[in-house]
A = this chain, B = another copy of it.
Amino acid sequence: MNVPTIFDASRLELFCRHVFERAGVPHEAAVMVAESLVQADLRGVDSHGVVRTQIYLERLEKGMVNPLANVEVVSRFGATALVDGNNQYGAVAGNHALRTSLDIARDLGAGIVGVKNSNHFGTCAYYALKAIQQGFALMVMSNASQTMPPTGGVRPFLGTNPLAVGVPTGDVPFILDMATSVVSRGKIIVAAQKGERIPLGWAVDKGGNPTTDAEAALEGSVLPLGGAKGYGISMFIDILSGVLTGAGFGKYVNNMYENWVDAQNVGHIFIAIDISRFISLEQFKSRMDQYIAEIKAEPRAEGIDEILVPGEIEQRLTESKRKTGITLPFKVAAELHAIGKKYEVDLDAAAL
């Protein structure tokens, strides 16, 4: 089998879009899902990139997501809104909630929008990037299916519930996007797919023992970031994303890979802030540029070439991969190749 492994980002996105369309996803939804996946690859967040195409399609084929569903605002009061994803793809529900939160923030300075009945919505950074391009600060969180034990527990109870915060800047961007685990489960999936071992401290096996075996870690639990503090952060994200919105929480957020009976019922929360209601956007950007310049000018520890701010590496990777292409592990490329065959979309056309 002659499978390309280096792809042009725009054409890879087109490939994904067409595959989803052929699978029955309406154009607009397919655009968002494909955009979200390829942007993750561009940013170097392989775990949330086109590696997810296969599972997204499987959920679709087995009727576990509804790409025809209308995402709707089911309640709106003042600066708040609740969005029902109606089991649409997470990227579609997420984009709807993002737009709603920005619209509200435009009117009222701030908008807080919850989402229920959603699915895996890609990276949080995907939404933060859109918000900062429009001059807003965004905090976005999502819950996820069980992968981490609570402090003192032995088996998965909490998701690696991610959090992103993005703010506009003049120069170097600021986008923090992190799972509340020591590392994201996706990174362990990637390691398993590459057949690589994981560092000690990332995860425990299903017996609760520390492991460097990625496959064993996937059967066990990833650990919360920084012990009890990460446990607490993961809980509050679950509370705001799930308990508050009416979505699942804890064990009621269903596993995308393992549960083929129930919809995922993931919940998200978007907190958008119109910077200009506090300080002019220009002044804010200039203060951010000063802040970032000062932190980058700090004396460095031995062996450190540069002090980086959250999102800086990802932006550089995006710029470079736009030029030199996205390189996928053979296993992932082969999977896409098979998907292309099945849905009659030519993967070769996306090769660089």
Checking B108, B111, B246, B308 against A278 with a beta-carbon cut-off of 8 angstroms, the contacting residue is B246
Is the Cβ of A298 less than 8 Å from the Cβ of B79? Answer: no
The residues of B that contact A225 with a CB separation of less than 8 Å are: 225-226, 229-230
**Residue-by-residue, is A253-275 near B (CB-CB < 8 Å gives 1, otherwise 0)?**
00000000000000000010111
The residues of B that contact A165 with a CB separation of less than 8 Å are: 236, 239-240
Given A77-B109, A310-B232, A271 and B274 touching (CB < 8 A)?
no
- CB within 8 Å of B: which A256-301 residues: 271, 273-275, 277-279, 284, 287-288, 291, 294-295, 298-301
* Cβ of A6 under 8 Å from chain B: no
Is the Cβ of A232 less than 8 Å from the Cβ of B182? Answer: no
Among A12-20, A22-30, A144-152, A323-331, the stretch that binds chain B is A144-152
- Tell me how many chains of this kind the complex includes: 2
Given A226-B182, A235-B174, A249-B287, A150 and B80 touching (CB < 8 A)?
no
* Cβ of A102 under 8 Å from chain B: no
**Interface range, A side:** 35 or more
Checking B151, B249, B278, B309 against A114 with a beta-carbon cut-off of 8 angstroms, the contacting residue is B278
27 interchain pairs, CB-CB under 8 A: A78-B108, A78-B109, A79-B79, A79-B108, A80-B109, A110-B110, A112-B271, A137-B244, A152-B300, A152-B306, A154-B299, A154-B300, A154-B301, A165-B240, A167-B244, A182-B226, A225-B226, A235-B310, A236-B310, A239-B291, A240-B273, A243-B287, A244-B275, A245-B279, A246-B278, A250-B291, A250-B295
**B-contacting residues of A (Cβ < 8 Å)?**
75, 77-80, 82, 107-112, 114, 137, 149-155, 157, 165, 167, 174, 176, 178, 182, 208, 225-226, 228-233, 235-236, 238-240, 243-246, 249-251, 271, 273-275, 277-279, 284, 287-288, 291, 294-295, 298-301, 304, 306-310
